[in-house]
């Protein structure tokens, strides 16, 4: 191949460390053209939502600066991926394209075709695993089939060879003699028309450096109490690494090995337990991708076929009230307002608001999945699908549909002093603790806050009747 360039196609692997495609290209000694292609139309209904686009804008900016620090450039192009790669290849004489694999069904199909077409033109194509500890096809049950329950899945994972050590950032790599033209990050128009920038920046630092800081902060400040604190939304007890993982600013192998060092080199029981429990959460991320890979219809349709006939309701006003945090149930509304203002929601609260939508309101889980997709900075197709099908009782390892969270009791249990509610619903700030989750019981109800849009007891009975209906049809 001589001095012909290698195109390293960045996608959701926006980091230099532990980047297998970049590392392999650098080892060849050939010139490297780092490339990012913006082609949301190829991902159809699951193109990045507005909150994710905000993150992508800032993550690409950070990646571009990091690559410039290596004496190179990030080339940005827009348009269909196959045509864009072919055009760049003909412009530069590149004889190889390297990338790191993604696992969404539409992307697998697209990448398979691109790899076939490139090979037919004698272009070397190599793809690598950067996003998962274990490839989805690698983990099988005793019958050779995919798992549908998490615990045996994760036990099987832990019997596999330990994930490889993370790769270092290449010390340097060769650049081409001349650079192809590039678009700018600003011209991609990823920043939403809604002015989220200031509020989001108070919460997040997109980019590889921000991911490493977040992991360090979690390890030092929250990991020792993670086993207990992760359920308390008013406490900063979670890792908050999910958007960094989604955009590949940090990889699971980096987390795995860093936490293995914590467990091996620390006698503090809380840290060891916290590391073990957090690695189990990384395992849930693996499980979500395992399911999406093997059951590609699940972003739109339930895994459990009997739920195809579930008698969902339609109510635009109720859906809107849920989206805007105006249901009259403080724990639900606090979560939905946190989501809108920060692009993120605590995991315990995600379960509460999801249960309220699909069971109290009897609205389709797909409506919730689409809203989360557009408003979460960590919107991930595998994780979003797993979570919403869990809430709807229609997926793998799902909560039984008859398990219906009481939004008042959930608030009283996980936010007993009302700190979380008061932060996100300031109009309720003056209520005493015994009324913070039942403001309608106050002698002088807060005028600025709505009354409950549904009676939970009656809604629960309605949900159970709907479940009985599909059970009867199945019999």
Report pLDDT digits (tens) over 212-237. 999 999 999 989 999 999 999 999 99
Q: What is the pLDDT of residue 262?
A: 85
Active site residues: 281, 284, 312, 347, 365, 388
Which domains can be identified in the chain, with CATH numbers?
A: 1-131 (3.40.50.620), 132-165+208-294 (1.25.40.80), 305-474 (1.10.579.10)
Q: Has residue 71 got a pLDDT over 90? A: yes
Q: Has residue 70 got a pLDDT over 80? A: yes
**180-197: per-residue pLDDT in tens?**
999 999 999 999 877 666
Burial class (CB in 10 A: 0-12, 13-18, 19+), 334: buried
**303-320: per-residue pLDDT in tens?**
999 899 999 999 999 999
For the record, the structure tokens of 56 come out as: 């992508």
Mean pLDDT in the chain? 94
User: What's this model's pTM, rounded to 2 decimal places?
Assistant: 0.95
What gap in Å lies between CA 153 and CA 138, rounded to an integer?
11
Longest alpha-carbon distance in the chain:
81
For the record, the structure tokens of 456 come out as: 């939970």
Q: What is the dihedral of CA 267, 268, 273, 274, to 10 degrees?
A: -120
**101-116: per-residue pLDDT in tens?**
999 999 999 999 999 9
Predicted confidence band at 265 (pLDDT cuts at 50, 70, 90)? confident
- Here the contacts of 200-205 (C-beta below 8 Å, separation 24 or greater) are 200/51, 200/54, 200/342, 200/343, 200/377, 202/342, 203/342, 203/343, 203/344, 204/55, 204/243, 204/342, 204/343, 204/344, 204/377
Phi, psi of 199 (to 5 degrees): -65, -40
Q: Has residue 398 got a pLDDT over 70? A: no
Predicted confidence band at 47 (pLDDT cuts at 50, 70, 90)? confident
What gap in Å lies between CA 50 and CA 377, rounded to an integer?
8
**433-458: per-residue pLDDT in tens?**
999 999 999 999 899 999 999 999 99
C-beta of residue 118 within 8 angstroms of C-beta of residue 85: yes
User: Quick one: average pLDDT of 260-284?
Assistant: 87
What gap in Å lies between CA 251 and CA 244, rounded to an integer?
8
Task: Give the rounded percent of residues in the chain with a pLDDT score beyond 90.
Answer: 86
Which residue intervals of 329-426 are DSSP H helices? 330-342, 347-355, 365-375, 381-392, 407-414, 419-424
Predicted confidence band at 354 (pLDDT cuts at 50, 70, 90)? very high
What gap in Å lies between CA 26 and CA 123, rounded to an integer?
17
Q: What is the pLDDT of residue 198?
A: 65
Residue 305: how many CA atoms within 13 Å on its side-chain side? 2
Q: What is the pLDDT of residue 470?
A: 87
Q: Has residue 472 got a pLDDT over 90? A: no
Neighbours of 53 (CB within 10 A): 19
Predicted confidence band at 403 (pLDDT cuts at 50, 70, 90)? confident
Percent of residues in the chain assigned helix, strand, coil, to nearest 5: 55, 5, 40
Q: What is the pLDDT of residue 397?
A: 75
């Amino acid at each position: 191949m001589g001095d012909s360039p290698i195109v390293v196609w960045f996608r959701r692997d926006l980091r230099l460390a532990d980047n297998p495609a970049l590392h392999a290209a650098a080892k060849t000694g050939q010139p490297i053209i780092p490339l990012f292609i913006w082609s949301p139309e190829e991902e159809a209904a699951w193109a990045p939502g507005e909150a994710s686009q905000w993150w992508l804008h800032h993550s690409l900016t950070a990646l571009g600066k990091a690559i410039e620090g290596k004496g190179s450039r990030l080339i940005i192009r827009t348009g269909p991926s196959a045509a864009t790669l072919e055009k760049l290849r003909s412009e530069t004489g590149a004889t190889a394209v390297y990338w790191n694999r993604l696992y969404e069904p539409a992307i697998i199909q697209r990448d398979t075709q691109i790899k076939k077409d490139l090979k037919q033109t004698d272009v070397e194509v190599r793809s690598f695993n950067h996003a998962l500890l274990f490839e989805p096809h690698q983990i099988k049950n005793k019958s050779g089939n995919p798992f549908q329950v998490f615990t045996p899945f994760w036990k099987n994972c832990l019997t596999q060879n330990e994930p490889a050590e993370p790769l270092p950032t290449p010390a340097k790599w060769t650049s081409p003699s001349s650079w192809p033209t590039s678009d700018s990050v600003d011209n991609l128009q990823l920043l939403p028309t809604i002015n989220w920038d200031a509020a989001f920046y108070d919460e997040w630092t997109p980019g590889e450096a921000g991911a490493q800081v977040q992991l360090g902060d979690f390890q030092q400040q929250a990991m020792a109490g993670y086993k207990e604190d992760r359920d308390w939304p008013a406490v900063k007890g979670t890792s908050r690494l999910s958007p960094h993982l989604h955009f590949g600013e940090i990889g699971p192998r980096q987390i795995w090995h860093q936490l293995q060092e914590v467990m091996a080199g620390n006698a503090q029981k809380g840290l060891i337990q916290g590391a073990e429990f957090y690695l189990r959460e990384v395992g849930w991320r693996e499980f979500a991708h395992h399911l999406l890979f093997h059951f590609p219809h699940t972003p739109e349709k339930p895994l459990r076929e009997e739920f195809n006939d579930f008698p969902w309701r339609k109510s635009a006003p109720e859906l809107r009230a849920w989206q805007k945090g105006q249901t009259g149930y403080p724990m639900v509304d606090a979560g939905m307002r946190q989501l809108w203002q920060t692009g993120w929601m605590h995991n315990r609260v995600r379960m509460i608001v999801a249960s309220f939508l699909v069971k109290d309101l009897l609205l389709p889980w797909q409506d919730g999945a689409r809203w989360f997709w557009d408003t979460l900075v960590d919107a991930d197709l595998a994780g979003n699908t797993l979570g919403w099908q869990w809430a709807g009782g229609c997926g793998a390892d799902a909560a039984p549909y008859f398990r219906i969270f009481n939004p008042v009791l959930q608030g009283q249990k996980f936010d007993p002093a009302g700190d979380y509610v008061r932060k996100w619903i300031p109009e309720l700030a003056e209520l005493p603790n015994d009324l913070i989750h039942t403001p309608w019981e106050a002698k002088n109800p807060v005028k600025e806050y709505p009354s409950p849009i549904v009676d939970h007891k009656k809604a629960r009975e309605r949900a159970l009747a709907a479940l009985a209906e599909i059970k009867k049809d199945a019999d």
